[in-house]
Structure 1
């Protein structure tokens, strides 16, 4: 029997009817046997500047959609003709209906506001990326000494990295640290490129800032700007250098790219994520890490027009980058819920006032529940599912360490953080090692291999959160604990 919140992923006659209705009307429809989700109307009064995504019915009609945006009183902020997505802003309160009703409206598949407040407003620091726990920060770091790059001796704090031992990264390093030509995009809050463990690891030519309205910002100031320490911590787990300083990442020999998708208030709006995934595909990256959910909704519902349009834009961007050879790892989320069976969301929208709402089969946490993305749950040093980690028999691909993880922080130091945000970069690092050993493998082959090579882990119930499934595949660990040694053997 299919899980109640996963049936939407199957191609059924009901879902085809829903898509046909969407194409004809510009509004999503839910399957007849699926109760509607609770509406969360987004009010866009005249004079208030709002951001929108407008999706063309085909990518060939992007130019027509841009004309429709302008006819409706909007400004095109960024266009992605490769996927038929246009990011726009407008002070016209009727912008959505005017776009759909305009002369070129027939070319518009969907249009939606990407936030519940005007562009200049928001609740600082409540965005998806901030859902982790800072437990301890220590050490001011040391000045980077380029002569130490490539040193084979243990770095001073490797002994504290229980997480690397658990996934056998230390054993994998006896085979390879990864190839420099493999690039991992860190879609996050930016990377501190002056950190002694990261200074030589980041390719600024491949880096970008997407957090200004979803526009591509290739300026040095944009690429190196920071919105908190989260991205720096994630980057260290993936590829902190083997240089005789501090710690060592899962794949210290690969290259990082900073893809900043978090704004200064801590939000990752849909247009930022679209920009990040598109950039990764266009720049030919190999792996991305995504330790966040897209704001302002923890779950984007197919039967809500604004949420559908935003979800569709992100889905297209993920599919485009995957088709260009990029494989994606993503955090499962920190709500302590089962993604398969959860029917309630009380955290959204997080940029204004959250409401308690019913969610249905068409509601998904993005990007982690999008097709082809490796979804990662978090475990602790004892190998138990972390209490905060989301789970789900149909949702989780693999598990990785995510509680009290030592990694790099802004200012040259090191800190312990917890969250599925910390679990996902372990998997991104393993995928980078695997890509180093198998450079011709496609994203689908990499996903299949990382699942197949994971170490089976039997269910071990956490109080109040039943584990279901078999030793080989269950709701806590998916296919098992990710295995770095297997990736390079």
Structure 2
């Protein structure tokens, strides 16, 4: 009886492996097809065109559609037989073919929110409209409606704003205020971080748990609104990110002044809460070694610092020669932002620096939130920086495993080059949200139910371009997203995996055990037949060992 049970176990193991193999073959049959768009030479005769089609049609796994009026062929092939590159090589060798182009993904052109003052937000969408008495130049903007067709941000992303505080009761941002779920309002330090009842940030100026904005200009509220005013809610304005969470960290008093010691405490607080992006729309004229070190340390925890280049009310200063801080700190996790105007020129008041300042963003005549439920226009590099902060958060929403260096590289690499800005900043350009979001989407492996890249694998292998990560993404797109059960699995995975990926990114010691766990999965996808053979052999040997072991016990 015992021997029969052992043999039954062997049979079950073998059946499981065989079923796995059958499912793999079934998945191959349902995967997305490789598609090319082929243009035939105009000199090609009708007979030659027909010959090309007939010859290709006889190749197993290839289907061709002819667009007679356009002179094009749409060629689809079974990717199990032909990769896109192999298919391209097959047709490029034909003398009657003019060009071969892969099938590209397209997106709807733009998303215009229904916020009542959106037409005044020239920095996000400039049509040459008149704003507060000023007329701008069409398209001197961030292309936000186009960017929103790709992402409108995630509520999982938290941005710390080091400023005068935030009016967290403002109707246009109250839904987007961060709440500390580990803390209760009970007079105790529930989360043990040294701050009692810090349910929504902290006021480091007055050392209490109420980071309300008491500045006459509402500076911190204005900055926060640019980043994350609730979008498409039929009121007020739209933030660059519609749904992220703002962590108010008050380091400036009612007169707009503060101390480095409060800034250091706020940075330490943000690191402790796992914040990935900090907006710092303040400047100082004195170099602080401790502030420099604190920002550098934040970088080691994966934090991107977006800072204002500063203003000069007579004319902007070259901060390469006359530095202000933190803008002039030479640190890789800082993006320093100057202000552009409605005509895409460097704003007259904005500090600049070909080495210290990275790019420009809209900073003149910017409408945003005002404490008490109102709205107002403000001007300054303090308004430029949060436009870039919001974009950084949007990129992190597209791909949560992006490092600060990847986010920074994408933002700087995708600016709109502006001739009049050459020599004033490192890039000589103004931020473009759509181009940056599109680049991030390409890096992340696409949207859909997948929503981005393979988070845990990207964190473990160290790059979204690693061959193993690309293999897993292809498996997801070709197999999992082509059937209801697979799509359900992907949705569940992308609900649970981002926190795990962030943990791996923060603690590199976790990478090795994660790689150990991922390697069998990667090899089973890459070599399904070989992996099946090894699995069956291993199961057989295990079954034989168990059988022999049981036999010795019986005897």
Q: Structure 2: any 5+ residue segments left out of the alignment?
A: 1-110, 126-140, 181-199, 439-555
Q: TM-score, normalised by structure 2?
A: 0.50
What is the CA distance between 1:153 and its match in structure 2? 4.9
321 and 268 in structure 1: CA distance in 2 versus 1, 3 angstrom threshold = same
| Cα displacement string for residues 395-450 of structure 1 (whole angstroms, at most 9, x for unaligned residues) | 11010000000101111111110000010000000100111112111112211211
477 and 408 in structure 1: CA distance in 2 versus 1, 3 angstrom threshold = farther
CA RMSD of aligned residues (A): 1.8
Could you tell me how far apart the structure 2 residues matched to 1:341 and 1:204 are?
42
Residue 487, structure 1, aligned to residue 487, structure 2? no
Q: Secondary structure at the match of 1:252?
A: coil
Could you tell me how far apart the structure 2 residues matched to 1:441 and 1:413 are?
35
Residue 230, structure 1, aligned to residue 219, structure 2? yes
CA contact (8 A) 1:433 1:487 kept: no
Structure-to-structure mapping, 1:35-46, within 5 angstroms: none
Residue 210, structure 1, aligned to residue 210, structure 2? no
Could you tell me how far apart the structure 1 residues matched to 2:151 and 2:214 are?
31
Could you tell me how far apart the structure 1 residues matched to 2:153 and 2:377 are?
25
459 and 477 in structure 1: CA distance in 2 versus 1, 3 angstrom threshold = farther
- Pick from 186, 195, 206 the counterpart of residue 170 of structure 2: 195
Could you tell me how far apart the structure 2 residues matched to 1:225 and 1:485 are?
32
Higher helix share: 2
Q: Which stretch shifts more, 180-189 or 271-280?
A: 271-280
- Pick from 223, 246, 250 the counterpart of residue 256 of structure 1: 246
157 and 281 in structure 1: CA distance in 2 versus 1, 3 angstrom threshold = same
CA contact (8 A) 1:376 1:396 kept: yes
Match of 1:163 in 2: 123
- Pick from 329, 332, 337 the counterpart of residue 376 of structure 1: 337
152 and 451 in structure 1: CA distance in 2 versus 1, 3 angstrom threshold = closer
Name segments (4+ residues, structure 1) moved above 4 Å: none
What is the CA distance between 1:476 and its match in structure 2? 4.5
Q: Structure 1: any 5+ residue segments left out of the alignment?
A: 1-150, 301-310, 343-363, 461-468
Residue 366, structure 1, aligned to residue 325, structure 2? yes
What is the CA distance between 1:283 and its match in structure 2? 0.9
- Pick from 355, 364, 380 the counterpart of residue 394 of structure 1: 355
Structure-to-structure mapping, 1:169-188, within 5 angstroms: 169-188=144-163
Structure-to-structure mapping, 1:261-280, within 5 angstroms: 261-280=251-270
Residue 319, structure 1, aligned to residue 299, structure 2? no
What is the CA distance between 1:244 and its match in structure 2? 1.3
CA contact (8 A) 1:391 1:476 kept: yes
Structure-to-structure mapping, 1:282-361, within 5 angstroms: 282-294=272-284, 298-300=285-287, 311-335=288-312, 336-342=316-322
What is the CA distance between 1:266 and its match in structure 2? 2.5
CA contact (8 A) 1:184 1:254 kept: yes
- Pick from 367, 370, 384 the counterpart of residue 406 of structure 1: 367
Could you tell me how far apart the structure 2 residues matched to 1:153 and 1:235 are?
18
Match of 2:68 in 1: none
CA contact (8 A) 1:198 1:241 kept: yes
Bigger radius of gyration: 2
Match of 1:304 in 2: none
Q: Secondary structure at the match of 2:307?
A: strand
What is the CA distance between 1:170 and its match in structure 2? 1.7
- Pick from 203, 206, 230 the counterpart of residue 241 of structure 1: 230
Could you tell me how far apart the structure 2 residues matched to 1:406 and 1:265 are?
21
| Cα displacement string for residues 294-330 of structure 1 (whole angstroms, at most 9, x for unaligned residues) | 3xxx242xxxxxxxxxx11111211222211211110
Could you tell me how far apart the structure 1 residues matched to 2:430 and 2:413 are?
10
CA contact (8 A) 1:451 1:479 kept: no
Could you tell me how far apart the structure 1 residues matched to 2:221 and 2:290 are?
27
| Cα displacement string for residues 4-33 of structure 1 (whole angstroms, at most 9, x for unaligned residues) | xxxxxxxxxxxxxxxxxxxxxxxxxxxxxx
Could you tell me how far apart the structure 2 residues matched to 1:223 and 1:280 are?
14
What is the CA distance between 1:273 and its match in structure 2? 1.1
What is the CA distance between 1:478 and its match in structure 2? 3.2
Could you tell me how far apart the structure 2 residues matched to 1:477 and 1:245 are?
37
Q: Secondary structure at the match of 1:292?
A: coil
Match of 1:478 in 2: 427
| Cα displacement string for residues 90-137 of structure 1 (whole angstroms, at most 9, x for unaligned residues) | xxxxxxxxxxxxxxxxxxxxxxxxxxxxxxxxxxxxxxxxxxxxxxxx
Could you tell me how far apart the structure 2 residues matched to 1:152 and 1:180 are?
20
Could you tell me how far apart the structure 1 residues matched to 2:144 and 2:267 are?
27
What is the CA distance between 1:264 and its match in structure 2? 3.2
What is the CA distance between 1:341 and its match in structure 2? 2.5
CA contact (8 A) 2:213 2:220 kept: no
234 and 448 in structure 1: CA distance in 2 versus 1, 3 angstrom threshold = same
Could you tell me how far apart the structure 1 residues matched to 2:351 and 2:163 are?
20
CA contact (8 A) 1:459 1:476 kept: no
CA contact (8 A) 2:162 2:248 kept: yes
What is the CA distance between 1:224 and its match in structure 2? 2.9
Residue 443, structure 1, aligned to residue 404, structure 2? yes
Higher strand share: 1
Q: TM-score, normalised by structure 1?
A: 0.56
Match of 2:380 in 1: 419
